């Protein structure tokens, strides 16, 4: 299983088991991101979804549908705890972060050409954003910083003997963190608090069943998404290639 299929596989399994097509919500995407950040293996998440719907199907619900991925969150957490406990003291260096056996060809679809074209497109967008937000010193400086870093990455990619999408994803994640810090610094405390309160309201129905770490990561992902939407900042992750 390709690392970059993590989101797609989860979304498709949820939609399939739900029985009718419905795009997952921004809040659901935030939950998926928190699972990925905590390196919960893909097969654990998929098994949690399957178990949750198996239990749901055995009960009478008078036509009601599962409308959120959060319905599966408790089962995913329970299975991940079992997974972690079963691996204490073991060594499994051949498995990737999704728990799948690494065979060396899982990322072959990410060619140098496609990656460079993808990064060039985002470089142009960031350049435009730097110009658009020039009056805001902190934001302009943030975009100028990440533009230089992205240009260096592209330069290195053009001369490198081999391309490692995993290493590149790490570099792009760090750049996204710099961008996010700049976005947070460019809004008022009241604006940031308002976004956090919006996320908290949306999570309120699920908060009691979420661990503190899961809640904070999911809320943080929601805030990041709202800020990127507000400023028109694209995601750099290769998942969006």
Is 93 a domain residue?
Answer: no
Is 91 a domain residue?
Answer: no
Q: What is the pLDDT of residue 3?
A: 53
Is 98 a domain residue?
Answer: no
C-alpha–C-alpha distance, residues 224 and 230, integer Å: 10
Structure letter (DSSP) for residue 101: B
* 141 and 54 co-located in one domain: no
* 186 and 230 co-located in one domain: yes
* 81 and 124 co-located in one domain: no
Cβ 9 vs Cβ 32: under 8 Å: no
* 12 and 61 co-located in one domain: yes
Cβ 170 vs Cβ 236: under 8 Å: no
C-alpha–C-alpha distance, residues 131 and 236, integer Å: 19
137 vs 219, residue with greater confidence: 219
Q: Which residue reads 């999570």 in tokens? A: 203
* 120 and 211 co-located in one domain: yes
* 56 and 154 co-located in one domain: no
* 67 and 150 co-located in one domain: no
User: 19 phi and psi, to 5 degrees?
Assistant: 95, -10
Is 70 a domain residue?
Answer: yes
The number of distinct structural domains making up the chain is: 2
Per residue, the 3-state secondary structure of 187-210, as one string, reads: CCHHHHHHHHHHHHHHHHHHHCCC
Residue range of the domain that includes 12: 3-86
Q: Which residues, other chains included, contact 64 with Cβ-Cβ below 8 Å and sequence gap of 6+?
A: none
C-alpha–C-alpha distance, residues 22 and 13, integer Å: 12
* 119 and 11 co-located in one domain: no
Q: What is the pLDDT of residues 65-95, one digit of tens each?
A: 788 999 999 999 999 998 888 766 544 433 4
* 207 and 116 co-located in one domain: yes
User: Residue 158 to residues 136, 174, 233, 236: CA-CA distances in angstroms?
Assistant: 33, 20, 25, 18
* 76 and 23 co-located in one domain: yes
Is 106 a domain residue?
Answer: no
Average pLDDT over residues 141-148: 91
Q: Is-above-0.85 flag for pTM?
A: no
Is 169 a domain residue?
Answer: yes
**Based on the number of CB atoms within 10 Å of its own CB, is 50 exposed (0-12), middle (13-18) or buried (19 or more)?**
middle
Q: What is the pLDDT of residues 146-201, one digit of tens each?
A: 999 999 899 988 988 888 888 898 889 889 999 999 999 999 999 999 999 999 99
**Does the pLDDT of residue 1 top 50, yes or no?**
no
C-alpha–C-alpha distance, residues 174 and 13, integer Å: 30
C-alpha–C-alpha distance, residues 25 and 99, integer Å: 26
3-state SS, residue 95: strand
Cβ 236 vs Cβ 172: under 8 Å: yes
* 126 and 230 co-located in one domain: yes
Confidence of residue 122 (pLDDT cuts 50, 70, 90): very high
Is 51 a domain residue?
Answer: yes
Is 73 a domain residue?
Answer: yes
Q: Domain boundary residue among 71, 86, 101? A: 86
């Amino acid at each position: 299983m390709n690392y970059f299929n993590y989101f797609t596989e989860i979304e498709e399994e949820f939609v399939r088991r739900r029985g009718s097509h419905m795009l997952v919500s921004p809040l659901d995407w935030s939950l998926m991101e928190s699972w990925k950040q905590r390196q919960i293996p893909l097969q654990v998440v998929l098994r949690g979804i399957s178990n949750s719907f198996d239990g749901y199907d055995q009960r009478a619900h008078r036509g009601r549908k599962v409308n959120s991925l959060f319905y599966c969150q408790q089962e995913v957490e329970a299975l991940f705890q079992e997974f972690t406990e079963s691996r204490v003291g073991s060594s499994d260096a051949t498995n990737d972060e999704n728990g799948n056996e690494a065979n060396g060809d899982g990322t072959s679809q990410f060619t140098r050409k496609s990656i460079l074209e993808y990064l060039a497109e985002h470089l142009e967008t960031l350049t435009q954003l730097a110009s658009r937000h020039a009056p805001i010193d902190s934001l302009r400086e943030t975009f100028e910083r990440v533009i230089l870093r992205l240009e260096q990455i592209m330069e290195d990619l053009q001369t490198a003997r081999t391309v490692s999408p995993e290493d590149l994803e790490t570099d792009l994640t760090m750049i996204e963190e710099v961008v996010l810090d700049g976005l947070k610094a460019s809004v008022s405390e009241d604006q940031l608090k308002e976004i956090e309160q919006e996320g908290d309201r949306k999570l309120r129905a699920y908060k009691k069943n979420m661990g503190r770490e899961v809640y904070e990561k999911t809320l943080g992902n929601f805030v990041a998404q709202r800020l990127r939407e507000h400023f028109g900042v694209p995601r750099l992750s290769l998942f969006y290639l």
